[in-house]
Amino acid sequence: MTDVKVIPVSDRKQLAPLLDLQSAADAMAAYYALEHPAERVRLFGCNSPTGDPFGFMAVAQTGLDLFRPLAIPFVARRQVLLRLLRDAFRPRQPFLLHLPSDQLAWLEGQVEVGSVQRAETLRLEPSAYEPVLNVLVVEAAGPTDRLRYEIRTAEGTRAAAGVNWAGQRFAEVYLDADDLARGRRLTESVLSALVGRLLGERRIALYRVETERLAAKTEAFHVGFRPTGIHTALAEAQMAAED
């Protein structure tokens, strides 16, 4: 039987050998397991009979949702995923779940899933990066004091690009804009400023774009982002009630 144990955050480095720290596919799990603030993350590991972890899940408090934790599993088998979820969450407790799209089917019958956001991960290709200079772009602190660039007018913020999380190698970025900003390609200006700053910090930007948002993918392509073939899902979830 799979043995699940809570991993003290002070021992989080034991999870590093499971991850490819140079891989965009592992980047989000690596950040939350190894670098997210210790007071805002719980770690659960599935251990082999020798006590070595072979899969894990990070459960983090984030700015994404103040009331629901974000669960980021790193597993290769359905039974391991379900065991981790059962140990981390009680029945009917709401949480957000981020996992590879092809693992959504593993939840059937065990996890109640609400809305699902499917996304493709884009990766900045430094050799394709095209700076887009715009004097209207200003640096500003994001909601969690993370790096953020904006274009504002008298009516308010028109376009903003910021950082969801930043690890040693990768950082995940987001982009918000109104229709006017997208029509005038102001989105490319703020996104270019942000990823250029991250490149200066020797970080590669990752950008998760909802699958159907073709215009957003085009904007990102102009700045230098390229497809990775990584497809993920962000689901509203809760464990099914026990019979």
- Sheet containing strand 156-166, strands side by side: 3-7, 41-47, 53-62, 65-74, 95-100, 225-239, 111-124, 204-210, 170-177, 156-166, 147-153, 137-141
Query: Do 84 and 186 sit in the same domain of this protein?
Result: no
Give residue 80's Cα distance to chain centre: 21
Structurally, the chain folds into a number of domains equal to: 2
Query: Do 10 and 110 sit in the same domain of this protein?
Result: yes
Instruction: Supply the CATH number for residue 77's domain.
Output: 3.40.630.30
Q: How much is the pTM? A: 0.92
Q: Across the chain, what does the average pLDDT equal? A: 92
Query: Do 111 and 167 sit in the same domain of this protein?
Result: no
pLDDT, residue 185, reads 81
State pLDDT tens for residues 20-42: 999 999 999 999 999 999 999 99
Query: Do 75 and 151 sit in the same domain of this protein?
Result: no
Query: Do 141 and 78 sit in the same domain of this protein?
Result: no
Query: Do 112 and 145 sit in the same domain of this protein?
Result: no
Average pLDDT (189-194) is 94
Please give the structure tokens belonging to residue 19: 């991850």
Range of the domain at 25: 3-118+232-239
More confident residue, 212 or 204: 204
Contact (CB, 8 A) for 89 and 62: no
pLDDT, residue 2, reads 62
- Binned at pLDDT 50, 70 and 90, residue 214 comes out as confident
Query: Do 77 and 29 sit in the same domain of this protein?
Result: yes
pLDDT, residue 96, reads 98
Please give the structure tokens belonging to residue 107: 């939840």
**C-alpha to C-alpha distance for 176 and 151, rounded to whole angstroms:** 11
Asked if the model's pLDDT at residue 84 lies above 60, the reply is: yes
Q: What ranges make up the beta strands (E) of the chain?
A: 3-7, 41-47, 53-62, 65-74, 95-100, 111-124, 137-141, 147-153, 156-166, 170-177, 204-210, 225-239
Q: Supply φ then ψ for residue 117, to 5 degrees.
A: -105, 115
Query: Do 93 and 139 sit in the same domain of this protein?
Result: no
Query: Do 11 and 70 sit in the same domain of this protein?
Result: yes
**C-alpha to C-alpha distance for 207 and 47, rounded to whole angstroms:** 32
Query: Do 8 and 106 sit in the same domain of this protein?
Result: yes
Query: Do 36 and 56 sit in the same domain of this protein?
Result: yes
Please give the structure tokens belonging to residue 86: 């059962």
**C-alpha to C-alpha distance for 174 and 187, rounded to whole angstroms:** 11
pLDDT, residue 178, reads 84
State pLDDT tens for residues 133-167: 888 899 987 666 688 999 988 777 888 999 999 99
Query: Do 132 and 217 sit in the same domain of this protein?
Result: yes
Asked if the model's pLDDT at residue 52 lies above 80, the reply is: no
pLDDT, residue 203, reads 97
Average pLDDT (77-93) is 95
In this predicted structure, which of 99-108, 142-151, 202-211 has the lowest mean pLDDT?
142-151
pLDDT, residue 125, reads 97
Contact (CB, 8 A) for 171 and 206: yes
